[in-house]
Amino acid sequence: MHTAHSSPPPLALHNLAFLPPLPGLSLSVEKGQCVALLGIGIEHDDLSRLTDVLAGHAPSYGGQILVGGEDVTHRPTGQRGLATIGAHAPLFPHLTLADNILFPLRASGQVSAAESERRTTETLSLVGLDGRRALKPASLTPEQNLRGQLARALVMRPEVLVLNRPFSTLDHTATRRMMALLEKLQRAIGLSSLLLTRDRTEALMAGDTIGILENGILLQLATPPELLTRPAHEQVAIAFGEANILTGKVLYAEDDMAELRLPTGETVEAMAAPGLEEQDLANICIAPDRLSVMFPRQISATPEENDMLLCTLVSARHVGTAIHMRFRMQDGGEIIAHRPPVHTMRDLEPGRVALLAWQTANATAFPMDQKSG
């Protein structure tokens, strides 16, 4: 809630229906903040549809779009105080970079020629394209083209930027540079942005807050740590935390915590999602990097300790920042664990018996019949 003396957020969506008949989308982007929406569905091109509705290229089916506190839901494209960036809005191929940036200023008819030229020069410098103003888009690299799109958007001084999969044409190195530039602009000029992406790493690197959007339905909007440790939906745990899914029967559920029995007979504990009850069948979600792995020298066929899984190592791969280990459980199911690369691979021979465990707070049990929305 904003007090009488505080400024409204650059962007606020109130129950915005952009994909009927799905529920409306509600979120806000604060000044100098990046909200990332991670699309995980495959049934709809929900990110492009949302971009079109925000920009005014397609109608909404209810709800409001507020930019700087003003309702722009029904305003024409170009008069909404926001700018969009992505493959849907390339630079004009027949114009030089400078003329591409000048174009919206000239089209607005509200900025003098001298002021337009000053803004263009300033914005080109801001995005690192000072020496490229006379080039046409065909002579620019994909990264320079994206910087040009960014300059064309920023020159109009929008309240908020909407970036629809902006890095899809860039390699890893160029993507990192562009993310660093956006972060710099966020700090330097208070840039506010809504990033629409299908890449988990992009969402993690750019988003102060991240929303998980499944086929147009917002499953959860939270900080990255909250999404990782307390996912509100099983789909969030899988898509964002890359979670393992174990099946169990609830022995008891009390005070947000549950004890469950696995098909192997082993018992484990996890945080209980809303609606989880005793005797329910449940899916237990645990991220690979939240698992503790022990290779005891001797072990009985059934470990005496509760909350530990007896497994056999199937494979181990060093991927640079971690060791990815695949284990087979006693019922034949598999579970993945990530381990810091502080040990050599010599003790990770396939066939080794291991015990896997986790802290209760790092796993969440969801009712097996949980539905989205």
Give CA separation, 329 vs 200, 292, 325, in Å.
28, 15, 13
Question: What pLDDT shows up at residue 341?
Answer: 81
Pair of tokens at residue 50: 């949302």
Question: What pLDDT shows up at residue 94?
Answer: 96
The 10 Å CB-count burial string (b at 16+, else e) for 273-286 is beebeeebebbbbb
Half-sphere exposure of 87 (CA within 13 A, CB side): 9
**Rounded to the nearest 5°, which phi and psi values hold at 201?**
-65, -40
Question: What pLDDT shows up at residue 346?
Answer: 72
**Rounded to the nearest 5°, which phi and psi values hold at 23?**
-60, 155
Domain ranges of the chain: 11-229, 242-367
Amino acid, res. 116: S
Residue 307's contacts (CB-CB under 8 Å, 6 or more residues apart) are: 267, 268, 269, 357, 358, 360
The 10 Å CB-count burial string (b at 16+, else e) for 76-114 is eeeebbbbbbbeebebeeeebbbbbbbbbbeeeeebeee
Question: What pLDDT shows up at residue 43?
Answer: 65
pTM value surpassing 0.75 = yes
Among the listed residues 237, 262, 232, the one whose alpha carbon sits nearest the alpha carbon of residue 248: 262
Question: What pLDDT shows up at residue 305?
Answer: 55
CATH of domain 242-367: 2.40.50.140
Tens of pLDDT along 210-250? 999 999 999 999 999 899 888 999 999 988 888 999 999 99
Residue with tokens 């890893």: 172
Question: What pLDDT shows up at residue 21?
Answer: 87
Intervals of the chain under pLDDT 70: 1-5, 43-44, 299-306, 343-345, 370-373
Any idea which fold 11-229 has? Rossmann fold (3.40.50)
